[in-house]
Amino acid sequence: MRYPAGGGMNAAARAKRETVRMQAASMFEASKPTTQIASELRVSEKSVP
């Protein structure tokens, strides 16, 4: 099954997800370990590539 653009989320949820992605990117640039990134962003370690 395919979902519409944005995975079925509303604009606010998409904006929040993008904010989390940008925070993760800056943490990667700072060479933080993935376990720390996952913990700080409150996501699973599998969600952090």
HEC secondary structure over the chain: CCCCCCCCCCHHHHHHHHHHHHHHHHHHHCCCCHHHHHHHHCCCHHHCC
pLDDT band, residue 6 (cuts 50/70/90): low
Structural domain boundaries in the chain: 11-47
The structure's pTM equals 0.73
Task: Give 10-37 pLDDT, tens digit per residue.
Answer: 889 889 989 999 999 999 999 999 999 9
